[in-house]
Structure 1
Amino acid sequence: MKRSEHTIPDPSALTAWRKSSYSGGSSGSCLEVNDAARPTHVPVRDSKTPAGPAIVFSASAWTAFVAALH
């Protein structure tokens, strides 16, 4: 699979982040996605460091990743 991700140095300026439903309550393992940011790209960040960086995947790569988890 070809790598097509990029990074956003400070993703805290983006709104509409949502935490993964699989993130633990007090365990600190919190992944957040911003799939409302752009229909063609999906930024992903660690909620413990909201100022970044975030990795940006193409929408198709993110969809394939999520489908592989099910």
Structure 2
Amino acid sequence: MNDNGKPSYKLTFEDAILVWLRHWDGEFQNRIAASFDVNPGRVNEVLKGRAHQGSKEEALKKRAA
């Protein structure tokens, strides 16, 4: 439990790109979330397109490179 009074980590656009890449590699959303110290709902928001719009397209570019 986070007992120091600070909010948990907030995913950046670059993090969202990594979320997509890891998701496509078959990693579970809860494992991805744990590695960033965020709620799994934040990862799901990225994958549903509700957060960090454009990250999927950038991840596709990185994957193709």
The normalised TM-score by structure 1 is 0.24
Give the number of the structure whose residues are more often helix, by fraction.
Answer: 2
Give the number of the structure whose residues are more often strand, by fraction.
Answer: 1
